[in-house]
Amino acid sequence: MEEHQRICHFRKCYELTRKNSMVKNLKRYRKTLERDVGWREAAKCDFFPRTFDLPNEYHLFVEEFKKSPGSTWIMKPVSGREGKGIFLFRKLKDIMDWKRDAGTFRYSEEVQAEENQVQNYVVQRYLENPYLINGKKFDLRVYVLVTSFHPLKAWLYRDGFARICTTRYDLNSIYDEYSHLTNVAVQRTAPAYDPEKGCKWQIDQLRRYLTAKHGAEIVEAMLKEVDNIFIFSLQSVQKLVINDKHCFELYGYDILLDQDLKPWLIEVNASPSMAGSNQEDYEMKYNMLEDTLHIIDMEARLTGEEKRVGGFDLFWHDGPVYREDINMETLGCSSLTANTHLGCVNDRKKQLRVLLKPLSVQKKL
């Protein structure tokens, strides 16, 4: 490839984006931290549900299942998309068909015909106590751009969205996908779905909502835990992904908040959907792709010292990157704040409103 050319993806990027590989690498990294640094640092890696890779870990799963009878578990294809093949269960007999077929659960003729291949599954302890908005479950889609794994260089996009279910959350109805699966591809088929309103909140709207209910200090602490998810998950695969200066990754992180505002990593997507479900969603993704191209910098316009490009903030560059607007006399060195601004997109939107005005109006401004 020529010097200016860039492609997506890094080789072996699946180490983070396949559900079974992601959990395997996070488990291994947590053990490494506990051995080399201590249990306190390893405890920061406790952000993914109890997970087993099937059929390889079926017997381990059964042992764990029997420890808490009646609990809810969720089954997912390791490389599935759009919520296909996902189901909840509370009884082992619900997955006997999957086990008898040696790893292929025939969840529907339509999906099986589309996949045309045997898929492994992961089974996870279902998070039964999600944080609810108006009685409905939701999760977060957040975007992280990685331009290098050696050294690790990662950017966090300020905008994103919450995907909200159309049906009120009901743990007694585990077969109602509209109550439990937040995927837009699932929710837009729900009887209560309104195409004009959609099923998303922009992440700045969610941040204002949570701040109004719980206060800025609690929300900032929660977002710091979200930052840890990005850092530890990328570090867990840093030595496995094959680095190439011509490659980059735009990851879509799916994160669920429980009722105590603890964030949980559900999965990481290597090719997150760029389809806009409404005008606001379209503009957000359009701007993000434009900013991604600026950071990739095929025209060599950047100096390499930038901490912010458009809506992206550099939060890791072979080590943590800190904000520059910190009053060191007030906070002290121990209170350095990561250069992340998730949900702080008002200034970005103001800039866009000016840029989108006709030229004659801009001259008056």
Q: How far apart are CA 308 and CA 361, in angstroms?
A: 28
| DSSP-based three-state secondary structure for 109 | helix
Q: In terms of Cα–Cα distance, which of 152, 244, 164, 154 is closest to 202?
A: 164
Q: How is the chain split among helix, strand and coil, in percent rounded to 5?
A: 35, 20, 40
In order along its 365 residues, the chain shows pLDDT tens digits of: 677 777 788 888 889 999 999 999 999 999 999 999 999 989 989 999 999 998 889 899 999 999 988 899 999 988 766 677 888 999 888 877 666 654 444 444 444 444 444 468 999 999 999 999 999 999 999 999 999 999 999 999 999 999 999 999 999 999 999 999 998 888 888 888 887 777 899 999 999 999 999 999 999 999 999 999 999 999 999 999 998 888 999 999 999 999 999 999 999 999 888 887 788 888 999 999 999 999 998 888 999 899 999 999 999 999 999 987 655 444 444 457 889 999 997 655 444 443 444 433 333 33
CATH superfamily of 14-18+26-46+129-351: ATP-grasp fold, B domain (3.30.470.20)
Pairwise CA distance, residues 157 & 345, whole Å: 9
Q: What is the pTM of this model?
A: 0.86
Q: Are 295 and 154 in contact (CB under 8 A)?
A: no
Task: Note whether 75 and 105 are within 8 A (CB).
Answer: yes
Q: Which residues, in sequence order, are bridge partners of residue 132?
A: 137
* Domain 50-126: CATH superfamily, name plus number: ATP-grasp fold, A domain (3.30.1490.20)
H runs (alpha helix) in 68-139: 96-100, 109-115
- For the chain, the domains span 14-18+26-46+129-351, 50-126
SS (H, E, C) 322-347: ECCCCCHHHHCHHHCCECCCCCCCHH
